[in-house]
């Protein structure tokens, strides 16, 4: 009887597991379940266990063939790969993949010093994750998992929001310029359906790519994973990748470890690709541009010498603008309600609610405008994936729009809410706070961008709302503005402390640290220090402290600081290579 | 049901239940779900038609997916029945579809309008083109100037076809690309064994030594790579690679020997010395199968002729090649040399080795590299053993062709100048110099998938020759795609790509003899649909012809009434008075392939039908020790450790395996000169033909000069900096790629990149081509890049997405030729000065002084040793036992000594 263990989404060699648990003499029956708690030390001492894994494990033991569903995956055998790019081209041929973008590609790393130097090749592609972040974030279910474990894709329902490109830590997705939708390796599901192997597997001269059912203990792929030392990419992201590398090297498989160059050994990039095809390409700064030595490549002896073209920044200024218009909308509406509740009512609340609604409409407009398939925006509602914070965000904004609309009708004298006004104001404050800050949950789903997944972004987004709202009321110039002054002082101080204190709170990963360093010390660091910190925070704080009045000049500075901050936080992390 | 998982030996998706290919039984109607409509299940029906790749020389199998609804070719996959490629391909195989659908390919025959090379073209009809070209040839034949007609091939792979045509014409007009590719290695191998190429059995080897880049590029890239990698991973075989540049092959090696260019033979002889001194040689094999007696008699006439004495003398003769000496010459570690020598000896009969292009093609005396490598093969007795190194002549199949005329009695000195009696083979790179010297002229010059203006060194001299109508009366370019040579043609006649032509192909890819069939897949599709066409061009795109039918029709145009006695070789045997058909031709050929008629009969098919369906037939496999039957095809029928032929032809000093100091040896270079290795290929490209393949150019599109970190430091250069590389005849301006992957003192630049067109030339190959200007400057020519590749407009939306602007540098144009006096090889390596650019230099600039180049040609000509062999007042041009492709009658091998 053969046994297979599944540990969350990770696999472990049966023999080693048994050795570890000293259960060799135990008779196991089909359906038996074995629970064990392993310490990190025990795990480290297991020769089969390639990477760190610090959680206690619960290991159900079952007869895999009988109960485990299929999980197709790949083994990339780097002992066999000769870097010939046949897989790349066969894939292009099978799927007619446009120039500039790839479903699979080969990365070259050169490592060592003459004559002890070698070039290493690694095939990159979708990892058909057990817990695929692209599926979670996809708002319309265009990305979905098949019963056989393949992460497949339906072009016809993709709105091209590009969220998946930010969610996939393997940079497997791109926006196809022919269809203007996302695309990626789908394991040639259309071939699998006809009992055929993926094209890349068939073409490979040295059979370095092995495809098969990882859950079938008799398959070649399962045998390789069982008997060879294999590595997966970025297991700490918790995606459960199903592409296993034999002789996988960190400098090849992890981003930003090897040094990169401007252009490769036999190619170069001078224009955008995919969604940005034909556009002038701004070369990404690369890690050498960072003055801080701690952000330098982890492995100075490894040099990246070939890779696929860079896709550029996929969430651009429309997303920056959406953050600001949303913050303005939420801030104006929320503060109007707050003022109403505290009795320091703002002048012309009909107008302020009205302006908040206009801002909300612009926000929706920006979101739709940013879609590659704007005409399909309704699919977010009809096919909404409720796990996606893009969809949840739409719900949040809708609720917020509802409360604000009701309050606007009331304030404009078009409808009398009567006693309902007070609870509705309360609800509106909550809705506007959520509307301002939910983006942090969306960004947290972007598993490719650790810098966006730090807990402080929740506070920052909420503060965006508050500060933008107060900036607005500085122009409104009435009693309410004065009433907000102490609030503003507090919000600005917290915001400033957060901005300066990120580093002390600790980053969730080296990648996040590097992205933040890029913001703080990169070639555009002056925007952060002069614009965001200086003009956006320190100056207004000084003025308010000495003057105590919230005037339009201060409001302008705060607004500028918030705009620049939103822009930096959206753009800078995207300058780092994902994979 | 055919189980292709069983056919394809390495376990692909074994037990995953997934197959590599649809079962053969269903090839006439394979249903696929449209990948673009997916996950909607839209069924497409395909007819799978086998053909053979037309990119590199490997002859890998392809399966064309012909859409049954539209008749269009949708894609090319591998052919699982092909025993050489085993269903796998390199990047160039699937990219065949790019070449087929290239929006800028030539679809109609073109004739020049203005002066040759002026870039003005008009469409011409095929009958008009055939009548004009045929008339010119007829005139030459009628005036008895048969040497004025020449066929020059770049990519061959049409076994026996053109030779038959030229025999029918009575012309010694076959020219090739061999002298810029493999002439050296061929001579080295030939002198030993009577076969000019090795056929290593990598799949069964225990130790592999490559002086080549078979895991990176040519020549039998895919078939060899799969077997080498398999032997390493399955059987634990070890690999050693000699290359001054860290190729992808070297990257996979257990031992990388970054030998100084030209030192390879010294290293091999040091290995031989270790095997001899440590008594590791296969004495029995040496005693039985080498001409050791001759060696003793010639080298040690005073010694007794017994084997022990031979071994003693041999050991002493090579004692001077100490590992320390070799290590000094090569700049490598002496212990690695000894380690490898012992491993070679341990592998014994399972030692597989190869030298191809690389050191052979780079250096003067490079032929001794092959000879020294074959010496190692001989010492350990791995010749034609399982896991050893066989001979191509036993493995490759040469077809019998119908209506075969006798060999011509002519000898064309523009192809085989008398200065090179031992050349292997045609002195193809010398053609423009020989013309310039006034040694002859050509009435009609065919270039067939051949682009010397770009591929050969000193391309400007080729432009000079091609534009001189007094030297070349009519230049006909037969090509699937525009190229730098076609710009200087009178006719550009579009010829088919891999799926648009008939050819029979066989190569010694491994220990198996196979015959493959390239066929026009749309023609075959129409036949299967019950709508056969008479001619391939009726099914091909536009008015694209195949050469088979072109030569038949042209021969009729040359001899319309049969008066010249040519037409009869091109007449149908079944329908007299009608042209021969390709069906008849290949029915004849395949009927005579041993075992094929029987195999076809089992399927109730004719041999031709069998080949049309399967595309390949394996004649035999894993036959070893074939020399035991009839010996070797050398004069002594033994492996010749002493070559009496060399002695007889004035090379007594090189009659045994020896080390010749290369023209780039330290002693021959100025102290400030580095060595340029300009020959390496990229895994994705193949000379001219890949220029039209978008997916290949997307991956590789520039060729910076590789420079070691220490050299870069010395020169004050960093990656991306512009540099000037000065050769003997000019210079080129490139960028630097600073790397640890090259030996210090050596620079390397790929010759696969730097395609160009002038502004007046037809828009073509814009995926890869720079736009350049060329002007006469002093005694030479100056090329400047006006613009790199750019997005362009075409019916392929991808043409607007070209994201690279750097099309590389045409370095070949600045390279001097050096003709090896023995093998006739152009020795590619260049002594160069690498420096920062001078004022006015721009990236992409190339200058070459063609007068200087001509002087160099003459200097190297002076090194030649003419044949001293006299017979009845006549001089023997070439040893009669040596191979000559398209061999004339023996009587043509002599010239009148006093003439």
Per the CB < 8 Å rule, is A93 touching B41? no
Among candidate residues B433, B459, B423, the one with its CA nearest the CA of residue B688: B459
Name the residue in chain B with its Cα closest to that of A194. Answer: B32
Among candidate residues A570, A332, A528, A330, the one with its CA nearest the CA of residue A442: A570
Per the CB < 8 Å rule, is B719 touching A192? no
B225 vs A: CB within 8 A = yes
Nearest CB among B36, B251, B801 relative to A277 is that of B801
Q: Return all residues near B345 (Cβ < 8 A) that are at least 6 apart.
A: B274, B275, B278, B280, B281, B379, B380
Q: Supply B694's token pair.
A: 């978008």
B46 vs A: CB within 8 A = no
pLDDT digits (tens, 9 = 90+) for A404-453: 999 999 999 999 988 999 999 999 999 999 999 999 999 999 999 999 99
pLDDT digits (tens, 9 = 90+) for B211-254: 999 999 978 999 999 999 999 999 999 999 999 999 999 999 99
Per the CB < 8 Å rule, is B12 touching A92? no
Q: How many CA atoms lie within 13 A of A36 on its CB side?
A: 19
Q: Say if residue B1's pLDDT is above 70.
A: no
Helix H or strand E encompassing A42: helix A40-45
> Which residues are A34's β-sheet partners?
A59
Q: Say if residue B496's pLDDT is above 60.
A: yes
Per the CB < 8 Å rule, is A267 touching B701? yes
Name the residue in chain A with its Cα closest to that of B42. Answer: A190
> Which residues are A271's β-sheet partners?
A280
Answer for the pair A97, A91: CB distance below 8 angstroms, yes or no. Answer: yes
Pairing state of beta strands A116-125 and B255-257?
unpaired
Q: Supply B532's token pair.
A: 């056969």
pLDDT digits (tens, 9 = 90+) for A459-468: 999 999 999 9
% chain A with pLDDT above 70: 84
Q: Say if residue B106's pLDDT is above 80.
A: yes
Rounded Cα distance, B724 and A487, in Å: 66
Query: In chain A, what residues touch B798 (CB-CB under 8 Å)?
Result: 98-99
The pLDDT score that the predictor gives to residue B8 is 45
Query: How far is it between the farthest Cα atoms of chain A?
Result: 84
**Lowest model confidence (mean pLDDT) among A106-120, A297-311, B120-134:** A297-311
Q: With a CB-CB cutoff of 8 Å, which residues 742-771 of chain B face chain A?
A: 742-744, 750, 753
CA distances from A578 to A167, A234, A286 (A): 10, 11, 12
Mean local confidence (pLDDT), B412-426: 97
| Residue tagged 């591998």 (tokens) | B78
Answer for the pair A225, A244: CB distance below 8 angstroms, yes or no. Answer: yes
**Lowest model confidence (mean pLDDT) among A150-164, A332-346, B128-142, B264-278:** A332-346
Nearest CB among B16, B252, B258 relative to A211 is that of B16
The pLDDT score that the predictor gives to residue A569 is 94
Answer for the pair A161, A389: CB distance below 8 angstroms, yes or no. Answer: no
The pLDDT score that the predictor gives to residue A13 is 42
Helix H or strand E encompassing B732: strand B730-739
Nearest CB among B12, B699, B803 relative to A201 is that of B12
Write out the DSSP string of B451-509.
-HHHHSSSHHHHHHHHH-TTTEEEEEEEESS--TTGGG-SEEEEB--TTS--EEE----
Query: In chain A, what residues touch B699 (CB-CB under 8 Å)?
Result: 85, 88-89, 266-267
Query: In chain A, what residues touch B737 (CB-CB under 8 Å)?
Result: 265
Mean local confidence (pLDDT), A471-495: 83
pLDDT digits (tens, 9 = 90+) for A498-530: 999 887 888 998 889 888 988 898 888 999 999
Per the CB < 8 Å rule, is B332 touching A115? yes
Mean local confidence (pLDDT), B787-795: 96
Rounded Cα distance, B872 and B877, in Å: 14
CA distances from B661 to A38, A396, B180 (A): 66, 80, 20
The pLDDT score that the predictor gives to residue B149 is 98
Q: Supply B284's token pair.
A: 């029995």
B708 vs A: CB within 8 A = yes
Q: Supply B564's token pair.
A: 């010249």
Angle between helices A552-571 and A479-505 (to 10 degrees): 30
The pLDDT score that the predictor gives to residue B12 is 45
Query: In chain B, what residues touch A273 (CB-CB under 8 Å)?
Result: 801, 803
ipTM of the complex model: 0.97
B248 vs A: CB within 8 A = yes
Q: Supply A174's token pair.
A: 């791109």
Query: In chain A, what residues touch B215 (CB-CB under 8 Å)?
Result: 82
Rounded Cα distance, B550 and B536, in Å: 10
Rounded Cα distance, B784 and B765, in Å: 18
Mean local confidence (pLDDT), A99-108: 97
Length of chain B (residues) = 899
pLDDT digits (tens, 9 = 90+) for A52-84: 333 333 344 444 444 689 999 999 999 999 999
B6 vs A: CB within 8 A = no
pLDDT digits (tens, 9 = 90+) for A125-155: 999 999 999 999 999 999 999 999 999 999 9
Nearest CB among B19, B258, B800 relative to A115 is that of B258
Per the CB < 8 Å rule, is B88 touching A152? no
pTM for this structure? 0.94
Q: Return all residues near A81 (Cβ < 8 A) that are at least 6 apart.
A: A106, A121, A122, A123, A206, A208
Looking at the complex, report in whole angstroms how far the Cα of residue A168 sits from the nearest Cα belonging to chain B: 21
Would you give the distance in Å from CA B79 to the centre of its chain? 22
pLDDT digits (tens, 9 = 90+) for B675-726: 999 999 999 999 999 999 999 999 999 999 999 999 999 999 999 999 999 9
**Which of B9, B16, B694 to mutate: most A Cβ within 10 Å?**
B16
Q: With a CB-CB cutoff of 8 Å, which residues 316-345 of chain B face chain A?
A: 332
Per the CB < 8 Å rule, is A85 touching B806? no
Q: With a CB-CB cutoff of 8 Å, which residues 92-111 of chain B face chain A?
A: 92-95, 97
The pLDDT score that the predictor gives to residue A15 is 40
Per the CB < 8 Å rule, is A219 touching B16? yes
Would you give the distance in Å from CA B494 to the centre of its chain? 22
CA distances from B388 to B176, B201, B345, B470 (A): 30, 5, 12, 52
Answer for the pair B364, B826: CB distance below 8 angstroms, yes or no. Answer: no
Among candidate residues B663, B662, B676, B669, the one with its CA nearest the CA of residue B711: B676
The pLDDT score that the predictor gives to residue A12 is 45
Nearest CB among A99, A178, A207 relative to B12 is that of A207
**Which of B803, B804, B808, B809 to mutate: most A Cβ within 10 Å?**
B803
> Which residues are B238's β-sheet partners?
B207
% chain B with pLDDT above 70: 98
Q: Supply B577's token pair.
A: 């008075």
Name the residue in chain B with its Cα closest to that of A305. Answer: B739
Q: How many CB atoms lie within 10 A of CB A444?
A: 17
Query: In chain B, what residues touch A95 (CB-CB under 8 Å)?
Result: 35-36
Name the residue in chain A with its Cα closest to that of B799. Answer: A99
Average pLDDT score over chain A: 86
Q: Supply B669's token pair.
A: 């270079």
Helix H or strand E encompassing A18: helix A14-21
Average pLDDT score over chain B: 96
pLDDT digits (tens, 9 = 90+) for B810-841: 999 999 999 999 999 999 999 999 999 999 99
Per the CB < 8 Å rule, is A212 touching B215? no
Q: Say if residue A212's pLDDT is above 70.
A: yes
Answer for the pair A406, A412: CB distance below 8 angstroms, yes or no. Answer: no
Would you give the distance in Å from CA B677 to the centre of its chain? 18
Query: In chain A, what residues touch B14 (CB-CB under 8 Å)?
Result: 212, 219-220
Helix H or strand E encompassing B374: helix B367-380
Which three-class secondary structure string do you get for A93-147? HHHCCCCCCCCEEEEEEEEEECCEEEEEEEEEECCCCCCCHHHHHCCCCCEEECC
Residue B306 banded pLDDT, cuts 50, 70, 90: very high
Mean local confidence (pLDDT), B647-676: 97
% chain A with pLDDT above 90: 68
| A-B Cβ pairs (cutoff 8 Å, strict) | 277
Looking at the complex, report in whole angstroms how far the Cα of residue A357 sits from the nearest Cα belonging to chain B: 40
Mean local confidence (pLDDT), B772-783: 97
Answer for the pair B682, A266: CB distance below 8 angstroms, yes or no. Answer: yes
Per the CB < 8 Å rule, is A220 touching B20? no
Burial class (CB in 10 A: 0-12, 13-18, 19+), B307: middle
**Which of B7, B38, B256 to mutate: most A Cβ within 10 Å?**
B38
CA distances from B263 to B186, B745, B750, B890 (A): 19, 14, 21, 38
Among candidate residues B456, B448, B441, B457, the one with its CA nearest the CA of residue B486: B448
Q: Say if residue A31's pLDDT is above 90.
A: no
Per the CB < 8 Å rule, is A118 touching B14? no
Per the CB < 8 Å rule, is B34 touching A281? no
> Which residues are A151's β-sheet partners?
A145
Per the CB < 8 Å rule, is B804 touching A268? yes
Q: Say if residue A18's pLDDT is above 50.
A: no
Burial class (CB in 10 A: 0-12, 13-18, 19+), B106: buried
Query: In chain A, what residues touch B249 (CB-CB under 8 Å)?
Result: 82
Would you give the distance in Å from CA A249 to the centre of its chain? 24
Looking at the complex, report in whole angstroms how far the Cα of residue A226 sits from the nearest Cα belonging to chain B: 15
% chain B with pLDDT above 90: 97
The torsion defined by the Cα of A20, A25, A26 and A28, in degrees rounded to 10, comes to 90
SS3 B281: coil
Answer for the pair A209, A139: CB distance below 8 angstroms, yes or no. Answer: no
Per the CB < 8 Å rule, is A266 touching B97? no
Q: Supply A163's token pair.
A: 């969220």
Q: Say if residue B14's pLDDT is above 50.
A: no
Q: Return all residues near A26 (Cβ < 8 A) that are at least 6 apart.
A: none
Write out the DSSP string of A215-229.
T-TTSHHHHHHHHS-
Q: Say if residue B446's pLDDT is above 70.
A: yes
Query: In chain B, what residues touch A115 (CB-CB under 8 Å)?
Result: 256, 258, 332, 743
The pLDDT score that the predictor gives to residue A551 is 82
Per the CB < 8 Å rule, is B801 touching A115? no
Nearest CB among B683, B694, B804 relative to A267 is that of B804
Q: Report DSSP state, residue A62.
A: E
Per the CB < 8 Å rule, is B35 touching A190? yes
Among candidate residues A138, A166, A73, A64, the one with its CA nearest the CA of residue A450: A166
Rounded Cα distance, A284 and A186, in Å: 28
> Which residues are B194's β-sheet partners?
none
Q: Which residues of A458-494 are buried (b: 16+ CB within 10 A; e: fewer)?
A: bebbbbbbbbbbbbbbbebeeebbebbbebbbebbeb
The pLDDT score that the predictor gives to residue B434 is 98
Q: Supply B548's token pair.
A: 């088979």
Answer for the pair B186, B424: CB distance below 8 angstroms, yes or no. Answer: yes
The pLDDT score that the predictor gives to residue A263 is 83
Answer for the pair B735, B704: CB distance below 8 angstroms, yes or no. Answer: yes
């Amino acid at each position: 009887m053969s046994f297979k263990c599944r540990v969350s989404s990770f696999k472990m060699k049966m023999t080693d597991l048994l050795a570890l648990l000293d259960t060799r003499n135990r008779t196991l029956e089909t359906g038996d379940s074995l629970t064990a708690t392993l310490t990190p030390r025990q795990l480290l001492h297991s020769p089969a266990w390639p990477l760190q894994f610090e959680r206690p494990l619960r290991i159900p033991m079952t007869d895999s063939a009988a109960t485990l569903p299929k999980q197709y995956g790949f083994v990339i055998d780097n002992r066999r790969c000769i870097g010939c790019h046949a897989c790349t081209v066969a894939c292009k041929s099978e799927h007619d993949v446009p120039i500039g973008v790839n479903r699979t590609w080969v990365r070259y790393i050169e490592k060592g010093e003459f004559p002890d130097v070698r070039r290493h090749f690694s095939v990159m592609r979708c990892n058909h994750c057990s817990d695929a972040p692209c599926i979670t974030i996809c708002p319309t279910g265009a990305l979905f998992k098949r019963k056989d474990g393949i992460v497949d894709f339906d072009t016809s329902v993709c709105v091209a929001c590009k969220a998946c490109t930010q969610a996939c830590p393997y940079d497997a997705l791109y926006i196809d310029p022919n269809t203007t939708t996302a695309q990626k390796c789908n394991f040639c599901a259309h071939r699998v359906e006809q009992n055929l192997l993926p094209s890349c597997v068939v073409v490979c001269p040295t059979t370095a790519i092995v495809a098969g059912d990882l859950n079938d203990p008799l398959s070649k792929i399962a045998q390789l994973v069982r008997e060879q030392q294999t590595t997966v990419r970025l297991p700490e992201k918790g995606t459960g990748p199903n592409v296993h590398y034999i002789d996988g090297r960190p400098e090849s498989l992890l981003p930003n470890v090897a040094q990169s160059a401007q252009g490769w050994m036999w190619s170069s990039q001078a224009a955008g690709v995919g969604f940005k095809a034909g556009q002038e390409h701004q070369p990404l700064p690369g890690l050498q541009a960072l003055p801080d030595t701690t952000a330098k490549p982890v492995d100075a002896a490894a040099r990246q010498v070939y890779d696929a073209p860079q896709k550029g920044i996929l969430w651009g200024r429309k997303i920056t603008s959406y953050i600001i218009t949303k913050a303005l909308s939420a801030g104006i509406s929320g503060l109007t309600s707050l003022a109403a509740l505290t009795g320091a009512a703002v002048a012309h609340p009909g107008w302020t609610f009205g302006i908040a609604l206009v801002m909300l409409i612009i926000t929706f407009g920006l979101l739709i405008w940013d879609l590659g398939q704007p005409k399909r925006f309704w699919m977010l509602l009809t096919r909404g994936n409720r796990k996606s914070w893009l969809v949840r965000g739409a719900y949040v904004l809708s609720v917020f729009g509802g409360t604000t609309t009701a309050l606007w009708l009331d304030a404009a004298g078009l409808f009398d809410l009567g006693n309902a006004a007070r609870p509705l104001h309360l609800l509106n404050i909550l809705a506007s706070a959520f509307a301002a800050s939910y983006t942090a949950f969306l960004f947290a789903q972007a598993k490719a961008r650790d810098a966006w997944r730090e807990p402080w972004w929740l506070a920052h987004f909420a503060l965006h709302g508050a500060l933008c709202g107060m900036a607005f009321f500085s122009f409104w110039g009435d009693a309410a503005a004065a009433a907000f002054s102490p609030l503003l002082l507090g919000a600005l101080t917290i915001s400033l402390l957060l901005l300066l204190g990120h580093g002390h709170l600790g980053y969730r990963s080296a990648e996040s640290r590097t992205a933040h360093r890029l913001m703080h010390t990169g070639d555009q660091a002056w925007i952060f220090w002069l614009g965001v910190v200086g003009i956006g925070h320190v100056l207004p704080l000084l003025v308010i402290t000495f003057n105590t009045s919230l005037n339009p000049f201060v409001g302008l500075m705060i607004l500028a600081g918030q705009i620049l901050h939103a822009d930096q936080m959206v753009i800078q992390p995207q300058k780092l290579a994902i994979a | 049901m055919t189980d292709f998982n069983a056919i394809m030996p390495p376990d692909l998706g074994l037990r995953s239940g997934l197959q590599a290919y649809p079962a053969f039984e269903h090839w006439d109607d394979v249903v696929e779900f449209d990948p673009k409509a997916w996950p909607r299940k839209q069924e497409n029906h395909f007819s799978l038609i086998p053909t053979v790749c037309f990119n590199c020389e490997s002859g890998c199998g392809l399966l064309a997916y012909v859409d049954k609804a539209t008749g269009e070719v949708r894609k090319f996959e591998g052919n699982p029945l092909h025993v050489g490629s085993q269903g796998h391909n390199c990047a160039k195989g699937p990219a065949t579809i790019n070449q087929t659908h290239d929006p800028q390919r030539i679809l109609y025959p073109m004739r020049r309008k203005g002066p040759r090379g002026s870039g003005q073209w008009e469409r011409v009809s095929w009958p008009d083109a055939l009548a004009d070209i045929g008339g010119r040839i007829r005139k030459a034949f009628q005036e008895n100037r048969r040497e004025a007609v020449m066929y020059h091939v770049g990519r061959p792979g049409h076994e026996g076809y053109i030779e038959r045509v030229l025999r029918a014409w009575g012309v010694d007009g076959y020219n090739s690309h061999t002298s810029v590719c493999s002439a050296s290695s061929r001579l080295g191998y030939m002198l030993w064994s009577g076969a000019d190429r090795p056929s290593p059995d990598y799949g069964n080897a225990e130790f592999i030594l490559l002086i080549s880049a078979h895991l990176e590029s040519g020549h039998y890239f895919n078939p060899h790579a799969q077997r080498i990698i398999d032997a390493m991973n399955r059987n634990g075989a070890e690999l050693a690679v000699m290359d001054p540049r860290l190729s992808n092959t070297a990257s996979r090696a257990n031992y990388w020997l970054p030998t100084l260019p030209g030192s390879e033979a010294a290293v091999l002889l040091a290995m031989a010395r270790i095997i001899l001194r440590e008594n590791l040689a296969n004495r029995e094999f040496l005693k039985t199968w080498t001409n050791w007696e001759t060696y003793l008699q010639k080298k040690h006439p005073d010694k007794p002729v017994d084997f022990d004495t031979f071994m003693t003398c041999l050991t002493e003769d090579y004692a001077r090649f100490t590992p320390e000496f070799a290590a000094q010459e090569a700049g490598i570690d002496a212990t690695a040399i000894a380690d490898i020598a012992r491993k070679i000896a341990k592998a014994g009969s399972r030692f597989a080795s190869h030298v191809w292009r690389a050191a052979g093609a780079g250096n003067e005396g490079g032929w001794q590299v092959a000879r020294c490598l074959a010496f190692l093969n001989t010492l350990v007795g791995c010749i034609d053993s399982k896991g050893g190194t066989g001979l191509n002549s036993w493995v490759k199949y040469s077809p019998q062709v119908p209506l075969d005329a006798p060999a011509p009695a002519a000898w064309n000195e523009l192809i085989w100048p008398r200065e090179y009696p031992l050349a292997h083979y045609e002195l193809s790179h010398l053609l423009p110099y020989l013309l310039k010297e006034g040694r002859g002229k050509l009435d009609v010059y065919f270039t067939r998938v051949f682009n010397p203006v770009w591929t050969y060194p000193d391309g400007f001299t080729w432009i000079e020759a091609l534009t001189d109508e007094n030297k070349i009366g009519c230049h006909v370019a037969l090509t699937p795609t525009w190229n730098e040579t076609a710009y200087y043609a009178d006719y550009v006649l579009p010829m088919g790509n891999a799926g648009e032509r008939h050819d029979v192909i066989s190569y010694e890819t491994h220990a198996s003899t196979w015959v493959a069939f390239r066929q026009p897949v749309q023609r075959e599709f129409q036949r299967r649909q019950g709508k056969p066409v008479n001619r391939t061009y009726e099914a091909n795109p536009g008015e694209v012809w195949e050469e088979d039918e072109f030569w038949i029709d042209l021969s009729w145009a040359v001899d319309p009434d049969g008066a010249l006695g040519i037409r009869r070789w091109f007449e149908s045997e079944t329908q007299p008075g009608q042209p021969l058909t390709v069906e008849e031709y290949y029915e004849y050929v395949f009927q005579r392939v041993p075992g094929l008629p029987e195999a076809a009969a089992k399927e109730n098919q004719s041999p031709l039908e069998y080949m049309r369906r399967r595309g390949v037939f394996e004649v035999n496999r894993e036959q070893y020790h074939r020399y035991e039957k009839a010996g070797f095809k050398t004069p002594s029928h033994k492996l010749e450790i002493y070559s009496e032929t060399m002695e007889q032809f004035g090379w007594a000093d090189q009659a045994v395996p020896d080390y010749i100091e290369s023209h780039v040896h330290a002693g021959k270079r100025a102290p400030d000169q580095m060595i340029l290795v300009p020959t390496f290929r990229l895994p994705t490209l193949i000379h001219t033909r890949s220029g039209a393949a978008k997916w290949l150019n997307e991956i590789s599109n520039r060729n910076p000069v590789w420079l070691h970190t220490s050299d870069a430091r010395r020169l004050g250069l960093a990656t991306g900096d512009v540099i000037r590389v000065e050769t003997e005849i000019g210079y080129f301006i490139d960028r630097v790629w600073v790397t640890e992957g090259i030996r210090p003192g050596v620079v390397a630049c790929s010759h696969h990149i730097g395609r160009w067109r002038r502004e007046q030339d037809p828009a073509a190959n814009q995926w890869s081509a720079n736009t350049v200007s060329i002007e006469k400057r002093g005694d030479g020519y100056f090329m400047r890049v006006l613009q790199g590749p750019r997005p362009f407009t075409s019916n392929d939306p991808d043409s607007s997405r070209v994201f690279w602007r750097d099309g590389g540098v045409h370095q070949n144009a600045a390279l001097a030729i050096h003709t090896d006096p023995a093998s006739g090889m152009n020795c590619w390596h260049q002594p160069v000065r690498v420096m920062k650019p001078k004022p006015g230099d721009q990236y992409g600039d190339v200058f070459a002084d063609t007068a200087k180049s001509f002087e160099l040609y003459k200097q190297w000509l002076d090194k030649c040793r003419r044949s001293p062999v006299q017979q009845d007042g006549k001089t023997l041009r070439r040893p009669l036992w040596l191979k000559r492709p398209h061999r004339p009658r023996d009587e043509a091998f002599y010239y009148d000594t006093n003439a």
